[in-house]
Each structure stands twice: as C-alpha cells, then as structure tokens.
Amino acid sequence: MGVPPAAMLAIAGGKGGVGKTTTALALADAYVRQRRRPLVADADRGMPNCHLCAGTSGERGVAALASGTPLDACVEPARVPPGTDVLAGGDAAPESYLDDLPTDRPVLVDTAAGAGADVGAALAAADSAVVVVTADRDAVRDGLKSAALARALGTPVAACVVVATTGDVTGIERVVEAPAVPVPASATPLADAAVEAAYDRVAGVIGPNP
C-alpha cells in the first residue's frame, strides 16, 4: 500500500445519508495506520456533523479559520478515530477557507450532499474525489452525478466506496468509471476490523498519486 501524499481528497455523494462522513473519518484512520496525521474538514454547512462523529466539541472550525484564526487554533484532535485532526463545520463558504488547509499531509473534505455551489467549490479545490454510494440504484445514480461534476471541474475520481455491502461491485465500478471498493455494514464502523480492512483497500486504490 502506498503512502498517501500531501493531497486534498473531496468525499462526495449525491444522496444524503450514504456514509460520506463515516468514509472521511474511516479513510483518515487508514492514513493514520500509514503513520500520517490526516485532517478531516467538514464542508457541509447544512448538516455539519463530522465533529459529533469524531467526538470533538465543534467549538472551533471552518468559520473561525475563514475569519483569520490560525489553523492550529481551529482544529481539534478526534477521539474517534485517534490520530486524526478535525476541522468542524460551520457557516462559512468552502472557498473562504479551503486555500488555508495544509499541503503537507492528507486532507479529506467531507462535502454536502447534492451538487450545489459548496460541493462544486470543494471538488474544484481537491486533487481527487472519492464518491460514496450504497448499492441502491438511486444512490448510484446520484453518485454518478457527483462523479460527473468532479470530472467537469477537472478533478479525477480516485475511487468509489460502496457502503453496506459485501457483494459484487463491478457493475457500479463500470458505470462510475472508477475503482469501486465494497465496505461491509456495521453498527460501529469506526471500530470494526472488517471496515478498517475495507478502507485500507480504499487507501491502496487511491495510491501514492491521487
């Protein structure tokens, strides 16, 4: 498995609730296992819940960064998964802070659902996109829209994460036109060895040059 470079990955998906936030944190955890210190930034203004999943207070975050507060004073170390820093979401347009995110370690941007302006800004700023879907037909269709938007903005789709399945995802891989990795369902995805192994595979698919 390659060591991920200092790169920004936008975690996108057209349908809400498919697991973008979990994917951002679980993929960050995979990078921790590669001895990196990733940062997860919550760019979802409508439902900024990354800090809740990570067990941080959310008192500081993107709004503080956008107003000029130094990054080190805005991030908090995640309780789950440990070894990851979290930049909590808030009422700030992504374009007002994305350029202030670090370039010396992996950064995962947890985007909003859909294809609005905030999602477009995150995808345009990212080096690569990771599209998150379930095997449900509607979720795949919405994921295709996310992949198309990323490519229209010049951002390659590095991987497609298919959540809550252990089945064959070659059909999804074919239509999304990106390597697809199934992730098994779990009530505790950030503390599940099988889920960890799946996200290690996602990190391997993304490789050293997303």
Task: Please give the pLDDT value at position 5.
Answer: 55
Paired with 42 in beta bridges are 110
Q: Give tens-digit pLDDT for 46-65.
A: 999 999 999 999 999 999 99
Nearest of 88, 151, 89, 150 to residue 122 by alpha carbon: 150
User: What mean pLDDT, rounded, does the chain reach?
Assistant: 94
CATH number of 125's domain:
3.40.50.300
Phi-psi region at 21: left, alpha or beta (left = phi > 0; alpha = psi -120 to 50): alpha
In which band, very low, low, confident or very high, does the pLDDT at 15 lie, cut at 50, 70 and 90? Answer: confident
Task: Please give the pLDDT value at position 210.
Answer: 41
Residue 1 resides in a domain: no
Residue 142 resides in a domain: yes
Residue 3 resides in a domain: no
Task: Give the burial class of 16: count Cβ atoms within 10 A of its Cβ; 0-12 exposed, 13-18 middle, 19 or more buried.
Answer: middle
Q: Give tens-digit pLDDT for 171-203.
A: 999 999 999 999 999 999 999 999 999 999 999
Task: Please give the pLDDT value at position 209.
Answer: 47
Q: Give tens-digit pLDDT for 110-154.
A: 999 999 999 999 999 999 999 999 999 999 999 999 999 999 999
| Host domain of residue 181 | 8-206
Task: Please give the pLDDT value at position 41.
Answer: 98
Residue 62 resides in a domain: yes
Q: Is 0.85 topped by the overall pTM? A: yes
The number of folded domains in the chain is 1
Residue 2 resides in a domain: no
